[in-house]
Amino acid sequence: MERRLSHANPPAIAPLQRFKSIFSGSVGNLVEWYDWYAYAAFSLYFAKVFFPEGDRTAQLLNTAAIFAVGFLMRPLGGWLLGRYADRHGRRAALMLSVLMMCAGSLMIALTPGYASIGVAAPALLLLARLLQGLSVGGEYGTSATYLSEMATREHRGFWSSFQYVTLVMGHLLALGVLIALQRLFLTAEQLESWGWRIPFVIGALAAATALYLRRNMDETGAFSRRRDRDPAQARGEGTLRELMRHPRAVLTVIGLTMGGTLAFYTYTTYMHKFLVNSAGIDKSTASLINAGTLFVYMLLQPLVGALSDRIGRRPVLIAFGVLGTLLTVPILSRLQQIGSPAAAFWLIMLALVVVSGYTAINAVVKAELFPVEVRALGVGLPYALTVAIFGGTAEYVALWFKDIGRESGFYWYVTACIACSLLVYVFMPDTRTHSRIESD
């Protein structure tokens, strides 16, 4: 009995050391997402460098295709790094993740153009993006697991919410670097010639700094206890066979992610194009609206995470599911016909307040569903697959509906996906009170 109790209570970690470990994990996540979004932000400038001279649209399509391939690598990254984290530790996997991102960014920054090395240029760009896709795919599950296991039970929702704080901050920093280079430091010609390499150099240096910080992180108590009980067994965990012993948890991750990830990509990544193509707002104003809403949205995440620590995860998810189902069509329909940038800002903010009910706590909910021996893989792989299917295709599906003259069909598609997730929220247990982390 005493042995069981000792495993249920983690070794004491000083509050300052706990904060430093959580901070290091969060900073690494920020760097990863900065590097990921920097590719999209600067592709307009480096597209012609890596591909033969010719049609500008064809060059952009080639860079977009490589971006999509990186996106498709995320499930593989979720599997490989999730398996590695469950076998060798969360800290080791987080270090490997940021190392791959550093290598990918450095390759993009240093690779000569097509005019110098021919087809090797796009081949190296593809290889760099594959590394980044693996890195981002593995980062989510491992980072969610680390933050959830490292946080105290009373504040787990709050600390885990910083995963999306840093995700959005990475996006904003990539946009900030682009705006600063465009308006303050370089001409358009300099950006197209060599200036586009600067953000990737910044990303590589930031990733190296994050790697140093992660070297000094503590391993989580949950994994350490598992390893100490039976080192040989711990090394054998993190397999797909072990994951399939928890089918309900896997299906829950898929179900709760489907509507949330689609709503997230609709109101963040796709919203800039929607404001321009559908609402008729000019590009510059749309960019300011997009950046402003993302900034406020970022600040909301810890508040919603802390709320879930008080009232539970399930009520917060249900609130997102109900409001998302009821408001998606009205919000998007109104945005399509809006004329005022200020009104557009507040409508998008209303949507993002609703979406925060998913994004702020989805990481901790998933981590609380799985036992320690398969937690990183269980969080990362089903999530990455669902994001690739629903989140990664959001923009394509939206534009397809617009192209056939049935744009409102996309609004109902988003609503239907959120409604499906709502059914999962209604019938799933509240992981705050039924957390598998507490039984490690």
Rounded distance between C-alpha atoms, residue 294 and residue 170, angstroms = 11
pLDDT of residue 302: 94
Q: How much is the pLDDT for 308?
A: 93
Looking at residue 255, its pLDDT comes to 94
Annotation: CATH topology of 245-433? Growth Hormone; Chain: A; (1.20.1250)
Give the residue from 394, 391, 353, 361 showing the smallest Cα distance to 379.
361
pLDDT of res. 417: 96
Q: For the domain 14-216, what is the CATH code?
A: 1.20.1250.20
Residue pLDDT, tens place only, 84-131: 888 888 888 988 988 888 898 899 899 898 888 888 888 888 888 888
CATH 1.20.1250.20 boundaries in the chain: 14-216, 245-433
Quick one: which of 233, 221, 238 has its CA closest to 141?
A: 238
C-alpha 203/C-alpha 217 separation (Å) is 21
Tens of each residue's pLDDT in the chain, 440 residues: 333 333 444 445 666 777 777 777 777 788 878 887 887 778 777 777 877 776 555 565 566 666 667 778 888 888 988 888 888 888 889 889 888 888 988 998 998 988 888 888 888 888 888 888 888 888 888 888 888 888 788 888 898 888 889 888 988 888 888 888 887 888 878 888 888 899 999 988 988 888 888 888 887 777 777 776 665 555 556 677 888 888 999 999 999 999 999 999 899 878 877 887 788 888 778 878 888 999 999 999 999 999 999 999 999 999 999 999 999 999 999 998 887 889 999 999 999 999 999 999 998 899 898 988 888 888 889 998 898 888 877 877 888 888 788 888 999 999 999 999 999 999 998 888 877 776 65
Which pLDDT does position 229 carry in this prediction? 67
Q: Which pLDDT does position 350 carry in this prediction?
A: 96
Question: Residues 158, 82, 80, 78: is their CA dihedral positive or negative?
Answer: negative
**Collapsing DSSP states into helix, strand and coil, what is residue 118?**
coil
Tokens of 403: 């192209």
The residues, ordered by sequence, that sit 6+ positions from 139 with a Cβ below 8 Å of its Cβ are 28, 29, 32, 77, 81, 94, 97, 98, 101
